[in-house]
Amino acid sequence: MTSKKQSLIEIHIAVFLFGVSGLFGKLLSFPSIVIVLGRVFFSSIFLLILLHFLKKDIKLREKKHYFYLAIMGIILAIHWTTFFQSIQVSTVAIGLITFSTFPVFVTFLEPYFFKERIKLSSILVAIVTFLGVVLVVPKFELGNNLTQGALWGILSGFTYAILSMLNRKYVKEYSSLVIAFYEQFIATIVLIPFLFLEKPVFQIREVFLLALLGVVFTGISHSLFINGLKNIKTQTAGIISSLEPVYGIILAAILLGEIPTIKEGLGGIIILSAVFYSTLKSK
């Protein structure tokens, strides 16, 4: 097997695992913030062991970098909490589809972060994406659980877009695994107080699912994705990543019986098509 083919397989497996992770919002009865705490706790332990095994230095070069990575960890905690909140109050399909709007936010944030000019095509993509969201949400009423889910999902996409911009800035200086470890470790520290506020009762099944989510569907999936980028273009990886909501929606339909409506399906196709075009155009 060629190194390029192996990397493609790694990217596909990683994206599949990313898609499955959304189902844990339904499989676990805890509040979203507790699910995220469990996720980052187990994932940061796994990443620390992996970094030690790979003999990578986790010490940062400048003191100010600790501050910026701490901010990124807080944003990650917000991103994953809003993502699972979206799924819990609505459906896996709505959570994944509305989160998929993040590349559109990236096209508007990149000019601000990297002093680049915004293009007319980016504005048109944003309008098309908005039309897709309109189809996904049946009623724009804050009391409607599907509307709430869509809003949480869009907020999740927005925070992930900010995180992507910051990651792009620091990935040139540090290993992606080192950045991932710091982000998830900080997220763990930030979320620990909520453990005492929520006071969840953990059963063996819940601990196992949280460990599975943290190690396999977060730590291993991110490691595979990062490793796959060695021989695969970022553009190709971005296109493959568009399959994440597809995997999640199909599995939610099979395992949870959540069948998307025709409008949700059409809205999802429009959003994913806009994201697909945006990914190609940006490269």
| pTM exceeds cut of 0.75 | yes
Q: Of 6 and 192, which is predicted with more confidence? A: 192
Round to whole Å and give the CA distance between 134 and 128.
Answer: 10
pLDDT grade for 80, boundaries at 50, 70 and 90: very high
Least confident stretch, 158-162, 194-198, 237-241: 237-241
Q: Is pLDDT above 90 for 171? A: no
Query: pLDDT by residue (tens digit) across 11-42?
Result: 889 889 988 999 999 999 899 999 999 999 99
Round to whole Å and give the CA distance between 261 and 277.
Answer: 24
pLDDT reported for residue 201:
87
pLDDT grade for 193, boundaries at 50, 70 and 90: very high
Round to whole Å and give the CA distance between 156 and 76.
Answer: 9
pLDDT grade for 139, boundaries at 50, 70 and 90: low
